[in-house]
């Protein structure tokens, strides 16, 4: 049984790394979009709050227009995609340009709606 969980864990890790690579190299229609890597974990109240905010109309609109979002559960991956520092807590959100470089400093911890919106706007402005 332990071997089964190990194999599933390895496959999930490979899948998420592949998903990240596909996100960075998607079609040219979204080439100016910022890759937003959202690191979360089960049982994280602040993670759930950010997920809720992402569904609100004002956030959903800006996220769909300017961001490609990849959600990763920290408990299901062994390593992050290259060039990303290990998070010191969750939620952690990285904002990357089309070359995979950070657009702004990564966001750690729960935020108010205003702070989260300000962070998104800062990433958009820095990506111009």
Report pLDDT digits (tens) over 2-28: 554 444 444 445 445 444 444 444 443
- For residue 87, give the CATH number of its domain: 3.40.30.10
Range of the domain at 109: 2-126
Residues 6+ apart with CB under 8 A from 21: 81
Report the pLDDT value the prediction gives residue 30, as an integer from 0 to 100: 55
Angle between helices 57-66 and 113-126 in degrees, nearest 10: 20
Q: Do 109 and 50 form a contact (C-beta atoms < 8 A)?
A: no
Domain count, the chain: 1
Q: Which two tokens stand for residue 49?
A: 């709050």
45-78 tens-digit pLDDT: 999 999 999 999 999 999 999 999 999 999 888 8
**What pTM value is reported for the model?**
0.75
pLDDT-derived band of residue 1, with 50, 70 and 90 as boundaries?
A: low
């Amino acid at each position: 049984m332990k071997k089964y969980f190990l194999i599933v864990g390895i496959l999930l890790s490979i899948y998420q790394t592949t998903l990240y690579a596909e996100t960075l190299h998607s079609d040219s229609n979204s080439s100016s979009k910022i890759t937003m890597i959202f690191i979360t974990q089960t049982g994280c109240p602040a993670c759930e709050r950010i997920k809720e905010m992402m569904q609100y109309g004002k956030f959903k609109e800006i996220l769909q227009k300017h961001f490609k979002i990849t959600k990763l559960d920290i408990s299901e991956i062994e390593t992050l995609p290259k060039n990303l520092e290990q998070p010191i807590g969750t939620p952690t959100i990285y904002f990357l340009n089309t070359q995979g470089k950070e657009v702004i400093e990564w966001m750690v911890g729960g935020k108010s709606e205003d702070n989260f919106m300000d962070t998104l706007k800062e990433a958009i402005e820095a990506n111009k």
